[in-house]
Amino acid sequence: MKVSEILKVKGNILYTVTPETPLIEAVNTMAEKDIGSLVVMEFGTLVGMLTFREVMNAIHQNGGAVGSNTVRKHMDDSPITVTPDTEVNEVRRIMLERHARYVPIMDARTLLGVMSFYDVAKAVLDAQGFENKMLKAYIRDWPSNADE
Average pLDDT of the segment spanning 59-77: 94
**Domain containing 48: what range?**
3-140
Per the domain annotation, does 64 fall within a domain? Answer: yes
Per the domain annotation, does 146 fall within a domain? Answer: no
The closest alpha carbon to 80, from 99, 97, 103, 46, belongs to: 103
Per the domain annotation, does 90 fall within a domain? Answer: yes
Determine the pLDDT at residue 66. Answer: 92
pLDDT for 6-40, tens place per residue?
887 776 688 999 999 999 999 999 999 999 999 99
147 pLDDT more than 70: no
Overall domain count for the chain? 1
Per the domain annotation, does 148 fall within a domain? Answer: no
Please report, for the domain that includes residue 22, its CATH number. 3.10.580.10
3-state per-residue secondary structure call for 54-108: HHHHHHHHCCCCCCCCEHHHHCECCCCCECCCCEHHHHHHHHHHHCCCEEEEEEC
